[in-house]
Amino acid sequence: MTDLQPVRGTRDLIGEDQRRHRHVVDTARGIAACYGFDEWATPIFEDTRVFARSLGDTSDVVTKEMYTFADRGGESVTLRPENTAGICRALVSNGLTQTLPQKVFYAGPMFRYERPQKGRYRQFHQIGAELIGSAEPLADAEVIALGWDLLVRLGIAGETVLELNTLGDGESRDAYRAALVAHFTAHRDALSDDSRTRLERNPLRILDSKEPRDAPFIAAAPTIFAHLTPAAAAFYATVQRHLRRFGVPFRENPRIVRGLDYYSHTAFEFVTTALGAQGTVMAGGRYDGLVAEMGGPPTPAVGWAAGIERLSLLLPAAPALTAAVAVIPVGEAAEPAALDVLQALRRAGIRAEMAYRGNLKRRMEQANRRQARAAVILGDSELARGVAQVKDFASGTQTELPIEALARHFA
């Protein structure tokens, strides 16, 4: 054994882990396509300004969690900690602000320098959907419905609850922020240390605190609803109406805020209690200012991202591997004919394998260990008659079939 291990916070996806991972991505890709979303693949590292500009100066993601380094040319580049900013950058870079809306799906690795924990890694993977170019509440509802359908299709919708809130427009948010600051400042000395810091830097985040001593003040805090402008309130009401139309169950939670600064209006999280501290499985909202931050024209947008590791942990089981047919030659003379059969099966779309060495007994053992569904046994006596012995592993029964009939038999 070597002492070389994967870097802290990274891990290998092998066997069942990878099958779960792939199942999540494949399922999401299929549903996103049904909603008219097209997949984009953007670079996993970007000019540091793409993230520094967009995510907000106060977020931990920017201030202490980014993998940022100077490349050999002296440019400051950053491994993407999330992908919404990169998608917006790509939209602008490719001149696609002229052809809106763009409905984008993506899947890939993200990087954050954090203390690893259950459902939290330094290299982790997200899928996401971004609908760029519509300011209509229908867009919000459609994006959320896409996420809900995915959880349903994965069989984990019952493990999660959709929590919905609005952050209002700029005017609503400023008024609300002032009200919150006034409320928490009145109880400043009783707050946790962390929340006193939040009061200075990002008062909305106090609402997110898990600190028990903050709980009574959070419960007593004003909600944004009293501070919404009529337009913002109407927008929020329409999003809810569409969600009901789509049959997406949700629970209003006025304490939901977003970690990153670019959000406004709709904010939502699909949360679960099954993953310990990392309960948020999918989260997103509206971010009408971000495209402009990337140097494009003011462009409304809404989207979400979901953690593949977290979704994988919730899956009841990994999809099974399709069982192979094991082709087994008996004796050297039978090998060429066995290879012909092997390739014929594969080219007929059947998963087929042949061990590289070993006698009949050993090859049978190997076939069983690899969970083959059947063995095709070819010896001199079979070849002389143009047939093969077909042993079905599930039933244990063995029958004789003409070689030409094999592909049809296993199809």
Partner RNA sequence: GCGGGCGUAGCUCAGGUGGUAGAGCGCCAGGUUGUGGUCUUGGAUGCCGUGGGUUCGAGUCCCAUCGCUCGCCCCA
Q: How far apart are CA 99 and CA 178, in angstroms?
A: 38
Q: Which stretch binds RNA (CB under 7 A): 244-252, 279-287, 293-301, 336-344?
A: 279-287
Which CB sits closer to RNA, 346 or 373?
A: 373
Q: Which of residues 78-97 bind RNA (CB under 7 A)?
A: 82
3-state secondary structure of 113: coil
Residue with tokens 């600190």: 211
Whether the CA torsion 89, 84, 230, 178 is positive or negative: it is negative
- Binding residues for RNA, rule CB under 7 A, total 67
Q: Which stretch binds RNA (CB under 7 A): 67-75, 150-158, 242-250, 276-284?
A: 276-284
Q: How far apart are CA 236 and CA 8, in angstroms?
A: 42
The yes or no reply on residue 375 touching RNA (CB under 7 A) is yes
- β-sheet bridge partners, residue 272: 160
Contact 83, 109 (CB under 8 A): no
The yes or no reply on residue 224 touching RNA (CB under 7 A) is no
Out of 26, 39, 57, 60, the residue judged to bind RNA by CB under 7 A: 60
Report the C-alpha dihedral over residues 247, 251, 254, 257, rounded to 10 degrees.
-70
Q: Which stretch binds RNA (CB under 7 A): 28-36, 98-106, 139-147, 201-209?
A: 201-209
Considering the complex, what minimum distance in angstroms separates the CB of residue 277 from RNA? Answer: 3
Considering the complex, what minimum distance in angstroms separates the CB of residue 61 from RNA? Answer: 5
Which CB sits closer to RNA, 260 or 407?
A: 260
Binding mask 160-199 for RNA (x = CB under 7 A): ----------------------------------x---x-
Q: Which of residues 133-152 bind RNA (CB under 7 A)?
A: none
Alpha helices per DSSP H over 35-100 = 48-54, 60-64, 84-93
The yes or no reply on residue 293 touching RNA (CB under 7 A) is no
The yes or no reply on residue 213 touching RNA (CB under 7 A) is no
Q: How far apart are CA 119 and CA 9, in angstroms?
A: 10
Strand order across the beta sheet in which 45-47 lies: 45-47, 76-79, 67-70
Binding mask 378-407 for RNA (x = CB under 7 A): -xxxx------x-x-xx-x-x---------
Binding mask 309-348 for RNA (x = CB under 7 A): xx-------------------x------------------
- 148-169: string of b/e by CB count within 10 Å (b at 16+)? bbbbeebebbebbbbbbbbbbb
Out of 1, 14, 34, 411, the residue judged to bind RNA by CB under 7 A: 1
Q: How far apart are CA 345 and CA 325, in angstroms?
A: 9
The yes or no reply on residue 20 touching RNA (CB under 7 A) is no
Q: How far apart are CA 31 and CA 125, in angstroms?
A: 18
The yes or no reply on residue 119 touching RNA (CB under 7 A) is yes
Tokens read off for 111: 């990087």
The yes or no reply on residue 57 touching RNA (CB under 7 A) is no
Considering the complex, what minimum distance in angstroms separates the CB of residue 139 from RNA? Answer: 19
Q: How far apart are CA 242 and CA 180, in angstroms?
A: 30
The yes or no reply on residue 362 touching RNA (CB under 7 A) is yes
Tokens read off for 309: 């590791």
Out of 258, 266, 293, 403, the residue judged to bind RNA by CB under 7 A: 258
Considering the complex, what minimum distance in angstroms separates the CB of residue 282 from RNA? Answer: 5
Considering the complex, what minimum distance in angstroms separates the CB of residue 381 from RNA? Answer: 4
Distances (CA, A) of 69 to 75, 81, 125, 193: 8, 14, 21, 32
Out of 167, 282, 291, 315, the residue judged to bind RNA by CB under 7 A: 282
3-state secondary structure of 376: strand
Q: With left for phi above 0 and alpha for psi between -120 and 50, is residue 108 left, alpha or beta? A: left
Tell me, rounded to whole angstroms, the distance of Cα 168 from its chain centroid. Answer: 27
Out of 336, 365, 386, 399, the residue judged to bind RNA by CB under 7 A: 365
Considering the complex, what minimum distance in angstroms separates the CB of residue 230 from RNA? Answer: 29
Tokens read off for 79: 């491994």
Out of 259, 346, 351, 401, the residue judged to bind RNA by CB under 7 A: 259
Tokens read off for 289: 């200012």
Contact 370, 326 (CB under 8 A): yes
Positions touching RNA (CB under 7 A) are 1, 5, 8-9, 11, 59-61, 65, 82, 112, 114-121, 124, 126, 194, 198, 205, 208-211, 258-260, 269, 276-283, 305-307, 309-310, 330, 359-362, 364-365, 367-369, 375, 377, 379-382, 389, 391, 393-394, 396, 398
